[in-house]
Amino acid sequence: MIRSMTGYGRAQQVLDGRDITVEIKSVNHRFLEFTARVPRGCGYLEEKLKSDLQGKASRGKVEVGVQIQAVEAANTVVEVNQELAGAYVRALRDLGEQYHLTDDLSLSSISRFSEIFTVRRAPEDEEAVWEAVQAVTAEAAERFLRMRELEGSKLQDDLLDRLAQIERRVGLVEEQSPRTLAAYRERLASKIREVLEDRQIDEARILTEAAVFADRIAVDEETVRLRSHIAQFRGILEQGGAVGRKLDFLVQEINREANTIGSKAQDVEVAQLVVEIKSDIEKIREQIQNIE
């Protein structure tokens, strides 16, 4: 199955006291370009994420966003500035003695001075954080790839329809070519009759001229190659995987054959069919720009 380069996947889990959300999205790009947005202090996750997702996409601009929120206080440390707390106690007692106030100092009264407390997070266990993020990333990646495959399936169906349309029109070109030659031969004979009036017509000359014309407008080789390219195109679609570059090359070959047929066209119907073929080719070219 082919895959689109456009995709999105999101997953959220609470693991080991952390609420972790991972979002993966991608858009078209000629090569694989990876960027990651991670919380401050978690820069070590970037390379791990890149390595973990490396095999899941071969082309596209892939962006991963990670959010981590602590939902438990297990990794929170409260530190007390003992010197500052002691200074507050001494200052309050001195104040009480100076103004003959009751010494009613208590733990609760001291705790009101928030500046004596420092709340910080304990150092994270990087490996534990990565294991949790990796588990959530796996779920997001599964949804991301599922969307790429779904979009790829839609693209494949449309491409197959357009290939069938091109093939049908190529068949009409092949049917029309002998008629074009017959019409030319008739026009040539009519003109010779006008020139020679009642004289006998040289059939050999008509046949020679017709043969030269037939060689000039012959598109047998082009239609055979075009059909061969279409068959290869279908085979690559069936093969699946990262086939965007192969299809891009092949559509150039299909377009080249269509151009040659157009340059040889000596018939209005054939010229119109070539215009329609090239229109389908252009739509195919646009679509494969989104194939991985």
Summarize pLDDT for 249-261 with one digit per residue, the tens.
999 999 999 998 8
| Nearest CA among 227, 291, 274, 236 for reference residue 254 | 227
Residue 191 inside a domain? The answer is yes
pLDDT band at 161 (very low <50, low <70, confident <90, very high): very high
pLDDT at 266 over 80: no
How confident is the model over 182-209, as pLDDT tens digits? 555 555 556 555 555 545 555 655 556 5
Residue 1 inside a domain? The answer is no
> Given CA atoms 229, 235, 238, 243 in this order, what sign does their dihedral have?
negative
* Whether residues 135 and 197 fall in one domain: no
Joined tokens for residue 193: 């009759």
* Whether residues 175 and 95 fall in one domain: no
Residue 162 inside a domain? The answer is yes
**What CATH number did the domain enclosing 209 receive?**
1.20.120
* Whether residues 165 and 284 fall in one domain: yes
CA distance 98 to 141: 70
* Whether residues 134 and 236 fall in one domain: no
Residue 168 inside a domain? The answer is yes
* Whether residues 81 and 206 fall in one domain: no
What are 62's strand-pairing partners? 26, 34
| Nearest CA among 213, 226, 229, 228 for reference residue 177 | 213
pLDDT at 30 over 90: no
Residue 29, domain extent: 7-71+125-147
Q: Are 80 and 40 in contact (CB under 8 A)?
A: no
Number of compact structural domains in the chain: 3
Residue 283 inside a domain? The answer is yes
More reliable by pLDDT, 64 or 266:
64
Residue 104 inside a domain? The answer is yes
* Whether residues 104 and 25 fall in one domain: no
pLDDT for 200: 59
